[in-house]
Amino acid sequence: MDEVSGEPELEVHEPKSSAAGVTAVAVSMRRAVRQMGVTRSARTLLKLNQADGYDCMSCAWPDPDPENRHTAEFCENGAKAVADEATRVRATPAFFAAHSLAELDAHDERWLGQQGRITHPMVKRPGGTHYEPIDWADAFRLVADTLNGLDSPDQAAFYTSGRASNEAAFTYQLFVRAFGTNNLPDCSNMCHESTSVALSEAIGIGKGSVSLHDVHTADCIVIAGQNPGTNHPRMLQALETAKRRGARIIAINPLREAGLVRFRNPQKPRGVLGRGTEIADLHLPVRVNGDLALFQAIGSLLVGWDAVDHDFIATCTTGYEAWAEHVRAVDWARVEEITGLSRAQITEAAEIIRGSGATVWCWAMGLTQHRNAVATIKELTNLALVRGDIGRPGAGLCPVRGHSNVQGDRTMGIWERSPDSFLDALRDEFGFDPPREHGLDTVRTIQGMRDGTVQVFMGLGGNFVHAAPDTRVVTEALRRTRLTVQVSTKLNRSHLACGETALILPTRGRTERDVHDGVEQFVTVEDSMSAVHASRGPLEPASPTLRSEVQIVTGIARATLGDRYGIDWAAMGRDYSVVRGHISRVVPGCEDYEAKVVRPGGFTMPHPPRDSRTFPTRSGKAEITVSPMDVVQVPEGHLVLQTLRSHDQFNTTIYGLSDRYRGVEGGRRVVFVHPDDLAALGLADGDLVDISSVWDDDLDRVVEGFRCIAYDTPRGCVAAYYPETNPLVPLDSTAEGSNCPTSKSVVVTLRRGAAPSGDVDAAGDPGSSTTEDHGRPDPQPQHQS
């Protein structure tokens, strides 16, 4: 602790060389008991990811078959997510009366989250300084009147965060389309959108093609741009199973992340006590955004060795010849420069792939958030296709999704560009013709609010202000609107970027029971591998006033639309099986939904490439495509910044200040830099710097007071945490084809900064020149390695 400020002090240690193990179990239990108490912790955690329990909200990794689940089928970070939601702390109307908006805005994101569960619907009136309580009926009326007073339904945008259940998502998109717009931006627009676009074009469906069994039985697993030890810890168990069966694992990542190097399985005594399993056989420390070149180089070697699956290529694909010609001609000098890898390292990877009878190809945000992300993912898909790694056991494409139900939300129609077939099915079920013009995605919604064309913003979950790029721009954009509506469990920064009028509609979470008129309701979710199942929370809701997301959405719909089109919103809000009945008739693959979701383990959605090697693309074949080799351009003296997650956060929710595996404790304003880059800039480990990003408009984008950490990252590539660095990501810098913000390749400069004074200015922010970045700079750093 810092004696003056009472804040913990930033400490930097050597990074860890293995993930999980005893510490992980101890940390999760300690956190859970502190927030929930002993009995509540036991009751809650033992139902997590069980067939008769609820689905963990921390990630979309699938559950094993019901018969193969452990008593404790969760990870450290899942336990933190549960403890965070099931906390006994409450943000009541008295709390909001005691704190003005300006006061709340002076606190950091972690403090906001620590104020506990919001208990009552709250409103900020025009000109108001505080949130005050409002009745549910009045809140719904307020939303309805504002929406109905717009000149056009397209002046409203309806955001979804990927935690919403299928039932909430389905009713929400139905309401939005019945209201008359396709403005359905979602967190996926900032996440795996590049994946959805690339896979839809290449294989005809935007989803991964593997099951958990495929991962267990693969010969080789490629993990590109993903940090499973922190973000999908239960994946490590699957990797360990695969390793024991002899799989070889290639990690492609600028950083040597602990979970990729070694894993100590806390579920097994051997894992707890022993040295653990070596996870990666080969780690390729690729330079940020070097993957496209790397995959083309691997392709070049495979073609040169004739190590491709000619039968599969001939029967199932198009475009092979053009691609083979393109990759045969790769310029190796350029490949080595772009990737920072030697030809020998790349050859070693290609040899492992050549020797593998079945490869699973995994990726996450390290591939999706670059300007050329769609091309990069198509190139990875090319490798899977030429190896015939689709639609056979132990092989396939495995985009590892983030939010626990982000994939299900898309299946349910949360998409600003849903295809006509889906809209036709909605029309046939509900008797109205949904709008056909594509709606706004996340980036375009922000542009619309900024430019005044979007007047109402509603968020079904999430924390738009801190999740979106260009924090200052998005804050100001939201403040220009007439009405902001946030359906939330806990306080976050987005509640402080208010429209003229602002509503907080508090909701029940996954951990909580949902009983209407004495009948217990359940919801359904879909994981990263297309398995759909039921989820039932065990706890009493945080407050009796709370409503479920389905009740809130149907309540707003009823208030706004009355009985337009004769849609029975009240019935759907009362009994979710009515919603599931509609889902079964609208969503392909969900026939007989009610019966299938209650089976233990649920059911798996159809996936033509996986199930029968059929490809619903334009050509009817899987499309092997040619992309020019390119990379983000970094001018002399500049660096490329990737923004990533620490081990102690869930997206914008900051649980604590311990990024244990990377050796950072007690603070988050740090930037990881190669020691030679530090030296070249005249800096040293421990120095404080300001980070500025470079973009061709006139906005100054700077975050201040970041402590440099000399770190094992490729030359020219630096890393810092999201969301503190979101003010640096330019709104207009997005991936070609998917419009996903380029959060993993931001061109920046580092400049020696002034030591923080310790005084907090009016905006509560001593460390940033942008008004919205409220992170306190860490007090005087101390090096301990």
Ligand X SMILES: Nc1nc2c(c(=O)[nH]1)N[C@H]1C(S)=C(S)[C@@H](COP(=O)(O)OP(=O)(O)OC[C@H]3O[C@@H](n4cnc5c(=O)[nH]c(N)nc54)[C@H](O)[C@@H]3O)O[C@H]1N2
Instruction: Report the C-alpha gap between 687 and 704 in whole angstroms.
Output: 12
DSSP states of 548-584: -HHHHHHHHHHHHHTTGGG--HHHHHH-HHHHHHHHH
Q: Which spans in 149-211 are helix H?
A: 166-179, 193-203
Instruction: Report the C-alpha gap between 469 and 729 in whole angstroms.
Output: 5
Chain position whose Cβ is nearest to Mo ion: 402
N-term to C-term CA, the chain: 18
**Partner in contact with 462, chosen from Mo ion, ligand X, none, beta carbon below 5 to 8 Å by kind:** ligand X
Minimum CB distance to ligand X, residue 375 (Å): 13
Residue type, 93: P
Binding track, positions 196-235, relative to ligand X; x by CB under 6 A: ----------------------------xxxx--xxx---
Q: Exposed, middle or buried: residue 325 (CB in 10 Å: 0-12, 13-18, 19+)?
A: exposed
Residue number, 204 or 541, with CB nearest to ligand X = 541
In this chain, which stretch among 139-147, 251-259, 704-712, 751-759 interacts with ligand X, using CB under 6 A? Answer: 251-259
Is 613 in contact with 390 (CB distance < 8 Å)?
Answer: yes
Residues between 469 and 508 that touch ligand X (CB under 6 A): 487-490, 492, 507
**Partner in contact with 484, chosen from ligand X, Mo ion, none, beta carbon below 5 to 8 Å by kind:** none
77 makes contact with ligand X (CB under 6 A):
yes
In this chain, which stretch among 13-21, 455-463, 762-770, 771-779 interacts with ligand X, using CB under 6 A? Answer: 455-463
User: Kind of pairing, strands 483-488 and 501-506?
Assistant: parallel
Is 58 in contact with 85 (CB distance < 8 Å)?
Answer: no
Residue number, 426 or 640, with CB nearest to ligand X = 640
**Partner in contact with 211, chosen from Mo ion, ligand X, none, beta carbon below 5 to 8 Å by kind:** none
Angle at 175 between CA 169 and CA 180, to 5 degrees: 130
Residues lying near Mo ion in the complex (CB under 5 A) are found at 191, 402
**Partner in contact with 488, chosen from ligand X, Mo ion, none, beta carbon below 5 to 8 Å by kind:** ligand X
Interface pick for ligand X out of 653, 692, 734, 739 (rule CB under 6 A): 653
Does an H or E element contain 782, and which?
Answer: strand 782-783
Residue number, 345 or 646, with CB nearest to Mo ion = 646
Interface pick for ligand X out of 95, 464, 603, 711 (rule CB under 6 A): 464
Interface pick for ligand X out of 364, 385, 504, 681 (rule CB under 6 A): 364
288 makes contact with ligand X (CB under 6 A):
yes
Is 726 in contact with 720 (CB distance < 8 Å)?
Answer: no
Strands, sheet with 277-278, edge to edge from the N-terminal-most edge strand:
19-20, 262-264, 277-278
**Partner in contact with 225, chosen from ligand X, Mo ion, none, beta carbon below 5 to 8 Å by kind:** ligand X
Instruction: Report the C-alpha gap between 80 and 91 in whole angstroms.
Output: 19
Binding track, positions 721-740, relative to ligand X; x by CB under 6 A: -x---x--x-----------
Chain position whose Cβ is nearest to ligand X: 402
Residue number, 181 or 530, with CB nearest to Mo ion = 530
Instruction: Report the C-alpha gap between 785 and 783 in whole angstroms.
Output: 6
Binding track, positions 756-775, relative to ligand X; x by CB under 6 A: --------------------
Using DSSP's 3-state secondary structure scheme, residue 121 falls into: coil
Minimum CB distance to ligand X, residue 608 (Å): 25
Residues between 505 and 524 that touch ligand X (CB under 6 A): 507, 509-510
Instruction: Report the C-alpha gap between 492 and 268 in whole angstroms.
Output: 38
412 makes contact with ligand X (CB under 6 A):
no
How far does CA 284 lie from the centroid of its chain? Answer: 24
**Partner in contact with 649, chosen from Mo ion, ligand X, none, beta carbon below 5 to 8 Å by kind:** ligand X
Torsion of CA 667, 672, 677, 682, to 10 degrees: 0
Instruction: Report the C-alpha gap between 273 and 268 in whole angstroms.
Output: 9
**Partner in contact with 467, chosen from ligand X, Mo ion, none, beta carbon below 5 to 8 Å by kind:** ligand X
Residue number, 345 or 743, with CB nearest to ligand X = 743
Nearest to 778, CA basis, from 749, 760, 762, 758: 758
Q: What are the backbone angles phi and psi of residue 615, rounded to the nearest 5°?
A: -125, 105
User: Kind of pairing, strands 156-160 and 132-133?
Assistant: unpaired
Q: Which residues of this protein are in contact with ligand X, per CB under 6 A?
A: 58-59, 77, 161-163, 187, 190-191, 224-227, 230-232, 252-255, 257, 286, 288-289, 291, 364-366, 402-403, 460-464, 467, 487-490, 492, 507, 509-510, 549, 642-645, 649-653, 722, 726, 729, 743-744
